[in-house]
Structure 1
């Protein structure tokens, strides 16, 4: 009898990178030219080395910009600015790399989660016959993607790597993922014949099938989307607050990028937006020009929008118009990745490489491609390698379902992999930041309410929530937690600017009256508060895309809203100080006596 087990067949090309460091001779040459600039012959004599070896070492050092030639007053070799930084900061020399591609054809079976090489197993797409038993896919089994397959490719390739090699990622643009079935001959299984890679769980599964004559049904396995809390460093000045700071930060990040730039905005504004005044048009033009400058430098620009409520394809058409403008005269064809289909997420991301082997992510409330930049926005700028890698993984999961986004998914995967290998910016070595140890946690849509309620019960002396809108969920979502916090502590505040759905002024007034002596509710019309954050105590902050008082996160769509909880000394105090400086005097609030 033959047993057919549900499986996925994945074909792609993996990028294997070989990394090697520098020899003592090359380091000696660099140090010698730093202390005594000269020629190849003078270095060879002083180090008692053959000229050919010194010449080869100098060529490699020049290739990485560590030494340079100066022509005046006479030609001589010396260390460059980057080389001087390495010598004075005692940092290692930059790694040298070379890449190769290998074809991957793996099979991932669902019963025991084994990973096979395709050539080691027999597959059938439509099994049939009287002697065939089929173990099918669970009805609610989510489909596999390039993202979920990445770890399985890593496991398959791990045993095939040469010394000094690591798997950088998968070239997913031409990858193929197919549902299929792995065929097992139960007579061979009884004799202990298993293909290489068979897991212990699959052996037990097959053994039970032989014993009972009836294989078990498979259950859907839940997947972890967000990483658990992780330790990192966070610069207290990296809270970006206000429209002016967001505009300036966008331009800086776009101008620093040298390889990749990603923007996820819920909406995309059209050039003929009737609601946009002169100042609004000027601000939006600054965003587009920053994107144009990036494209002209041959930076790959990836643009996404989130909303699925796109009446008359307004956002899709605006995105197409943006694509046409950025492509200009087609001199930069291939560098603009503009996506007309939505990613079905309210999250807002700005991410890019920083031009110095690092990367940066801004996550928060700002709709980069539609904002008039007149409201108060709040975002968190993250630059520490491991934290950025985790956030890029989340962005990759958001955009991954778009079939046309494979180039973007591949780029996100490669940047994240590079960061996890611990590459650091050479320039940053001489620019110490005022950073504080912190713990970061990525919050999915359905996790926001639980954390807010817990904060209301745990907060010490302060509980401040800012939401753009109050809506049908405002009482259980924000006002009840504020009431709970107000029974214990003296500074409880809720800020909002807009009402949505059935909410009228009288509904908010009723809650304000109910919370007298417990909490203060501030309706700030100007400037509009588009920020979404929660700050409690002195050290705890959540910066998010979620409107706490008008939305509810659903477990069925965990990536609809993304928040970032940051715990570190004085972070809540720092954020509130910047936020309150933009408020009218009567909305700044004070702890109750």
Structure 2
């Protein structure tokens, strides 16, 4: 019987987690309590009215009775559930008070770096590099490499993996220990992976099995089903990620510089507890202009965190770092240390996003605007995101960017990971919803291909810059759609960048024009928007320069955007852009 040992890199560590223990009340239990507050009812009646199984209704009322909020009364119609005075005093609260306790607990965990999945301390066999088995003809060993996409662990996934039943991690004690770099070892025997937990993702199983079969010189099948640990390898598909039904109003699309400044003022002014700003650049002039707004927020008790992504393109100095230091000095001089923190490190991300709470819920602004460097005179495009599930996801990604080096958890990254999970669980606003999905890093290139394959009428894009990456990333895919379906394809840019000179840019414009694809330089208005759209109903708003950047798999959150599928959203955008060019 031939077996192969497969090793893969992991990050191993333990932390003292602050855990909230105890089951919280579900929305179903709250609704059932509300139902009996309007009149006593039987389990059968409530099951029929709610379309819930009768067993679920009974179990919910058992818990409510234990809390003293519901009692059973005997009537001529039989036994009915009736609310108590204690229950009546709580039913109208936004959330029912849960009987939970908070306590610290040490938990060990492991993050594998091939697909990023997380395991509890003893779920994998872990070894130091010096302890790994050696490859021999009798005992073949294959080593998997870390994926650059998963060099930074997702702390929220760590929390989820190690939480027990009725547990919620709400914090992590300060600790300077770096996660240790180790290796996991599993055995593949007759197509079965031994030593890997059953909940391991299919992609990891596929990668392990593929490596084992390859070292044995066997063909790796497109589909494989085996006994034991049951490996299922599915054929690769190009289906796009799933979208989320998210709150949307046409006014959520923010265009032009002045509208961006007003949106910036509104989101800061409406904040009640928290503001988080991520701007690619920080400039001295803009920092001076926004500080009074942030000081007023701090006076209301709002905590503000400012992060930045990179320094000026092509500059030998870190101008944003210097501006951040000056901004923090001004904060300290104003006596707002602790309330406003301008972080000194770069996230190395080109994303531009603001998060803030308000009396109505959480909001985010995401798009092209450098909130702490822009003069607010260019044509910008951002989206006001109001769906808590998506906002929480973005905050979780920002937690990863705030980590810095792999395995290093600072206070901010932990805080953002906890906050992101909390925001994701917040009820969304009422009203109209449309499909939305977040777009990260190399997903932008896949989105261009999606537009190429699905557009029936037109494809368009706006980009601040055009560079040598334009042809492979955006122009050639769009040209394929032009030739296949004779659609209209128009790309607009503000300036050339990098090795692409003005003369070379003009030649590129002429070459693609002959093939039926328009590439147009626009000097009025000055374009800083980064938008891709197709047909009438698909619009992607992002930080990515579609005609100059080449998003890398190794930096998955360097660029962040959002795709919105809403009636006429792309058509309305182009109408407003056309009007701006005429004005």
Aligned to 1:400: 403
Aligned to 2:290: 287
374-383 or 97-106, which deviates more: 97-106
Residues 229, 247 of structure 1: CA spacing in aligned structure 2 closer, same or farther, 3 A cutoff? same
Residues 536, 199 of structure 1: CA spacing in aligned structure 2 closer, same or farther, 3 A cutoff? closer
Deviation at 1:468, TM superposition (A): 0.6
Partner SS for 2:382:
strand
Deviation at 1:529, TM superposition (A): 0.4
Instruction: Tell me how large the CA RMSD over aligned residues is.
Output: 4.5
Counterpart check, 1:496 vs 2:506: no
Correspondence for 1:157 among 143, 152, 163: 163
CA distance in 2 between counterparts of 1:334 and 1:286 reads: 20
Deviation at 1:353, TM superposition (A): 1.9
| Matched ranges for 1:103-122 at <5 A | 103-108=105-110, 115-116=119-120
Counterpart check, 1:565 vs 2:566: no
Residues 545, 99 of structure 1: CA spacing in aligned structure 2 closer, same or farther, 3 A cutoff? farther
Aligned to 1:148: 154
Residues 158, 312 of structure 1: CA spacing in aligned structure 2 closer, same or farther, 3 A cutoff? same
Deviation at 1:9, TM superposition (A): 2.3
Partner SS for 1:341:
strand
Q: TM-score, normalised by structure 2?
A: 0.69
Deviation at 1:251, TM superposition (A): 1.2
Aligned to 1:208: none
Residues 493, 143 of structure 1: CA spacing in aligned structure 2 closer, same or farther, 3 A cutoff? closer
Aligned to 1:510: 507
Q: Does the 8 A contact of 2:365 with 2:383 survive in 1?
A: yes
Counterpart check, 1:441 vs 2:443: no
| Matched ranges for 1:98-497 at <5 A | 100-108=102-110, 115-116=119-120, 140=146, 147-159=153-165, 161=166, 166-171=167-172, 173-174=174-175, 176-179=177-180, 199=197, 228-233=241-246, 234-271=248-285, 285-307=288-310, 311-330=316-335, 332-356=336-360, 358-401=361-404, 406-424=410-428, 433=431, 435-438=432-435, 440-487=436-483, 488-489=485-486, 491-497=488-494
Deviation at 1:543, TM superposition (A): 0.9
Alpha-carbon displacement from aligned partner over 1:362-420 (angstroms, at most 9, x marks no partner): 21111111111110110112111222222222222222326997333233223322233
Aligned to 2:230: none
Which runs of 5 or more residues in structure 1 are unaligned? 33-52, 67-85, 87-91, 185-193, 206-215, 217-226, 272-280, 586-593
Aligned to 2:51: none
CA distance in 2 between counterparts of 1:100 and 1:230 reads: 35
Residues 269, 109 of structure 1: CA spacing in aligned structure 2 closer, same or farther, 3 A cutoff? closer
94-103 or 380-389, which deviates more: 94-103
246-255 or 143-152, which deviates more: 143-152
CA distance in 1 between counterparts of 2:132 and 2:415 reads: 45
Counterpart check, 1:16 vs 2:20: yes
Q: Does the 8 A contact of 2:254 with 2:383 survive in 1?
A: yes
Residues 182, 499 of structure 1: CA spacing in aligned structure 2 closer, same or farther, 3 A cutoff? closer
Q: Does the 8 A contact of 1:106 with 1:116 survive in 2?
A: yes
CA distance in 1 between counterparts of 2:152 and 2:496 reads: 41
247-256 or 502-511, which deviates more: 502-511
CA distance in 1 between counterparts of 2:481 and 2:356 reads: 39
Partner SS for 1:507:
helix
Aligned to 2:517: 519
Q: Does the 8 A contact of 1:466 with 1:534 survive in 2?
A: yes
CA distance in 1 between counterparts of 2:13 and 2:277 reads: 32
Deviation at 1:152, TM superposition (A): 4.0
Deviation at 1:111, TM superposition (A): 11
CA distance in 1 between counterparts of 2:515 and 2:196 reads: 65
CA distance in 2 between counterparts of 1:94 and 1:370 reads: 41
Deviation at 1:359, TM superposition (A): 1.5
Residues 142, 229 of structure 1: CA spacing in aligned structure 2 closer, same or farther, 3 A cutoff? same
Q: Does the 8 A contact of 1:305 with 1:343 survive in 2?
A: yes
Residues 383, 147 of structure 1: CA spacing in aligned structure 2 closer, same or farther, 3 A cutoff? farther
CA distance in 2 between counterparts of 1:140 and 1:170 reads: 28
Residues 247, 15 of structure 1: CA spacing in aligned structure 2 closer, same or farther, 3 A cutoff? farther
Which runs of 5 or more residues in structure 2 are unaligned? 1-6, 40-83, 134-138, 186-193, 206-215, 217-239
Partner SS for 2:346:
coil
Q: Does the 8 A contact of 1:341 with 1:402 survive in 2?
A: no
Residues 405, 320 of structure 1: CA spacing in aligned structure 2 closer, same or farther, 3 A cutoff? farther
Give the count of matched residue pairs. 476
Alpha-carbon displacement from aligned partner over 1:251-270 (angstroms, at most 9, x marks no partner): 11112222221111111102
CA distance in 2 between counterparts of 1:560 and 1:254 reads: 25
CA distance in 1 between counterparts of 2:323 and 2:480 reads: 45
Residues 246, 175 of structure 1: CA spacing in aligned structure 2 closer, same or farther, 3 A cutoff? same
CA distance in 2 between counterparts of 1:129 and 1:402 reads: 25
CA distance in 1 between counterparts of 2:378 and 2:443 reads: 26
Deviation at 1:516, TM superposition (A): 4.7
Residues 513, 14 of structure 1: CA spacing in aligned structure 2 closer, same or farther, 3 A cutoff? same
Q: Does the 8 A contact of 2:350 with 2:559 survive in 1?
A: yes
Alpha-carbon displacement from aligned partner over 1:203-246 (angstroms, at most 9, x marks no partner): xx9xxxxxxxxxx9xxxxxxxxxx94222123232111111111
Deviation at 1:146, TM superposition (A): 8.8
Aligned to 1:590: none
Q: Does the 8 A contact of 1:232 with 1:386 survive in 2?
A: no
Q: Does the 8 A contact of 2:17 with 2:169 survive in 1?
A: no
CA distance in 1 between counterparts of 2:574 and 2:113 reads: 51
Aligned to 1:550: 548
Residues 355, 104 of structure 1: CA spacing in aligned structure 2 closer, same or farther, 3 A cutoff? farther
